Amino acid sequence: MIKLVSASKASLERGFLFMAKQNEPLVKHIYTADPSARVFNGKIYIYTSHDLEHSGEDNDNGDQYQMEDYHVLTLDDIDAPCADNGEILNMRDVPWVSRQMWAPDCVEKDGKYYLYFPARDKDGVFRIGVAISDSPAGPFKPEPDFIKGSHSIDPGLFIDDDGSCYIYFGGLWGGQLEKWQTGEFVANPAPIPEDADALGPKMARLSPDMKSFAADIKEIKIIDENGNPIKAGDEDRRYFEDPWMHKYNGKYYLSYSTGTTHYIVYATGDSPEGPFIYQGRILEPVIGWTTHHSIVEHKGKWYLFYHDSSLSGGISHRRCVKFRELKYDADGRIITMKPYEE
């Protein structure tokens, strides 16, 4: 169990403090999802979407995910109390948003913190916006419009050793990725044949001001060990949503969710632009439909942050954020984890 610990009045006014424990919800007073874990100034910050209780329709379009704001959880250390620092951005403060603020991410550059987030615009099309703060704990002030040319969901940021910043994004079904195959939004595209190449996540390099794309959007290619593209019907390996990039021992690791089969898997490459060779599973299925993750290093150890629906008893749109230590073998392969085993 997670134990509520004593805290100052000021801390409790902003949120709650719980003792962090592997494989247990980091907080239990609200439903949190889509964790993007970052380390700033030696401290772990976990940017989450915020699931709301409702009785709306549950469907493949994702209408059940009616999130309206973001929270940031903080850990001074991996076994320290976890604090909810409260709301850092709400859809009412973003002029272009109509609904559904889904999975966010945050990076730092030159002392400023940039929160990237997807949401539906006034036409119901998913776009990606950015909000800025002087503090990693927020609050964040949004730019008045979404990033020009952006679409779909799940922005994941990666800053390479040379300082270049890349944004990865895209999700099938409710995330609308298949609606952008022509470069323009098509409301009702033809189904993708199972023997066709699977759609990959999109990526772009960000401009120095972090508010726009510095180059054209590219599609990331994910291939098998023989160099053949993963096919759309290969639901155990094909990309669905939730792209995350990290670097380990000089290799680029692209991890993502397979959606329908509920795995977190990964592929590796020699460039942040790919191609990436499929390697295997990171996490077996969790309770609940969605599975969403991030990977971060802290004090020489690596951690997987993810969510499931255990706190709500399996309700797909009432999720909770958890973490596990992530380990590599001698060849740099990530050791597969079962979410409910130590």
**Active site (catalytic) residues:** 34, 241
The residue type found at 10 is: A
Q: Could you give the count of Cα atoms lying within 13 Å of 272 in the half-sphere of its Cβ?
A: 20
Q: What is the CA radius of gyration of the chain?
A: 19
Residue of 37, 16, 41, 12 lying closest to 135 (CA atoms): 41
Residue of 72, 13, 14, 15 lying closest to 4 (CA atoms): 15
CA angle 38, 243, 251 (to 5 degrees): 75
Contacts of residue 142, defined as CB under 8 A and 6 or more positions apart, other chains included, come to: 89, 93, 94, 95, 129, 130, 131
Measure the CA–CA gap between 62 and 154, rounded to whole angstroms.
13
Output phi, psi for 298, to 5 deg: -145, 120
Output phi, psi for 280, to 5 deg: 155, -170
Q: Are 140 and 131 in contact (CB under 8 A)?
A: yes
For residue 121, what are its two tokens?
């615009």
